[in-house]
């Protein structure tokens, strides 16, 4: 595909406007030094500034006419296109420079999407993070109080599969979990029903940089935002002062609502994983580049996707 200067500048402008709208409230709060117990997570845990969302990339295989004299001409992993003064994303150079990262991202996207989702955790990972603890990570009161919150955990089996949630469990909650996730086992355990694995689609999209078209990056951010809402609405915290209505997972009705929304988010996450892999390029080309970029030791250590 080849885009004229008018066409790609219009897409870039629309992308920036959409990104600015998505981050406007956060930027306004930050300018006043205000924090938010729910939304700050999207910019602190993932540590990507709003400027990252504003940067538009067309993705591999799209030639931008008359772009060489723009600031984009100095960006890393862009190369001259077929037309004079045009630019294209240099997918091969990115994959060469970041071969271990690219192998990991492909494994995480493909394996997670290929597994059946598990929908029996009911968001109890957040409850496990405050179990039998009187000092909590978030300075927000518990909706049921400490004793009743602990009782909810006592009445359930913890079934968290995501290491980056499990590692925040309190010491008393750790042995109650059915699995014992580690960083090394993450490619083996992540599954599409997991809210944190769904939010991580945004992380993987950012890490792939120019290989991910701008619309996919913003779609992944919107998914992470919507997942974060459910994650906190089902959490044990009282967030009514910030306008959040709790999903009472300690009840049968709350569990049913949680699973319904969880399934919708899982479907969106898998659709995005597929779109990112499709935009990245044909699998045979990707793997050919990644094999030639890896040392023999790296290549033998890389799990098959």
Q: Average pLDDT for residues 245-254, to the nearest whole number?
A: 98
- The rounded distance, in Å, linking the Cα atoms of 301 and 74 is 35
> Does the pLDDT of residue 5 top 60, yes or no?
yes
* DSSP for 98-134, written as a single string: THHHHHHHHHHHHHHHHSPP----TTTHHHHTTTT-S
Q: Enter the pTM of the model.
A: 0.92
> Does the pLDDT of residue 119 top 60, yes or no?
yes
53, 221, 256, 280, 284 from 58: Cα distances, Å: 13, 17, 40, 11, 21
Query: Is 167 within 8 Å of 266 (Cβ atoms)?
Result: no
Give residue 118's Cα distance to chain centre: 18
> Does the pLDDT of residue 295 top 50, yes or no?
no
- The rounded distance, in Å, linking the Cα atoms of 212 and 206 is 8
Q: Average pLDDT for residues 186-205, to the nearest whole number?
A: 97
Residue the block writes with tokens 């319904």: 260
- The rounded distance, in Å, linking the Cα atoms of 129 and 172 is 10
The predicted pLDDT at position 283 comes to 66
Provide the number of structural domains found in the chain: 1
DSSP-derived secondary structure letter, 142: B
The predicted pLDDT at position 288 comes to 53
93 C-beta neighbours (distance < 10 Å), count: 16
The predicted pLDDT at position 299 comes to 35
- Residue ranges making up the domain that contains 146: 2-301
The predicted pLDDT at position 137 comes to 76
- The rounded distance, in Å, linking the Cα atoms of 170 and 165 is 11
- The rounded distance, in Å, linking the Cα atoms of 275 and 214 is 12
The predicted pLDDT at position 286 comes to 58
Query: Is 63 within 8 Å of 88 (Cβ atoms)?
Result: yes
pLDDT over 90 percentage in the chain: 90
């Amino acid at each position: 595909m080849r885009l004229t200067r008018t066409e790609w500048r219009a897409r870039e402008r629309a992308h920036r406007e959409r990104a600015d709208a998505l981050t406007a409230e956060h930027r306004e709060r930050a300018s006043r030094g205000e924090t938010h117990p729910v939304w700050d997570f999207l910019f602190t845990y993932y540590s990507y500034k709003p400027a990252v969302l504003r940067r538009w990339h067309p993705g591999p295989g799209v030639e931008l006419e008359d772009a060489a004299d723009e600031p984009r001409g100095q960006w890393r992993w862009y190369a001259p296109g077929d037309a004079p003064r045009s630019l294209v994303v240099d997918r091969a150079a990115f994959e060469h420079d970041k071969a271990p990262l690219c192998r990991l991202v492909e494994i995480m996207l493909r394996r997670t999407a290929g597994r059946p989702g598990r929908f029996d955790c009911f968001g109890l990972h957040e409850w496990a993070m405050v179990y039998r603890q009187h000092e909590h990570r978030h300075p927000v009161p518990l909706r049921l109080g400490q004793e009743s919150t602990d009782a909810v955990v006592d009445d359930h089996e913890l079934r968290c599969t995501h290491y980056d949630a499990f590692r925040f469990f309190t010491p008393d909650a750790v042995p109650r979990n059915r699995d014992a996730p580690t960083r090394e086992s993450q490619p083996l355990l992540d599954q599409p029903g997991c809210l944190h694995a769904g939010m991580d689609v945004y992380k993987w999209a950012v890490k792939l940089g120019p290989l991910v078209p701008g619309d996919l990056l913003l779609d992944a951010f919107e998914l992470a935002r919507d997942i974060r809402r459910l994650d906190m609405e089902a959490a044990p915290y009282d967030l009514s002062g910030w306008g959040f209505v709790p999903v009472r997972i300690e009840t049968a009705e709350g569990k049913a609502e949680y699973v319904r929304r969880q399934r919708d988010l899982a479907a969106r996450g898998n659709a995005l994983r597929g779109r990112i892999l499709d935009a990245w390029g044909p699998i045979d080309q990707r793997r050919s580049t990644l094999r030639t970029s890896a040392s023999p030791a790296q290549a033998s250590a890389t799990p098959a996707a």
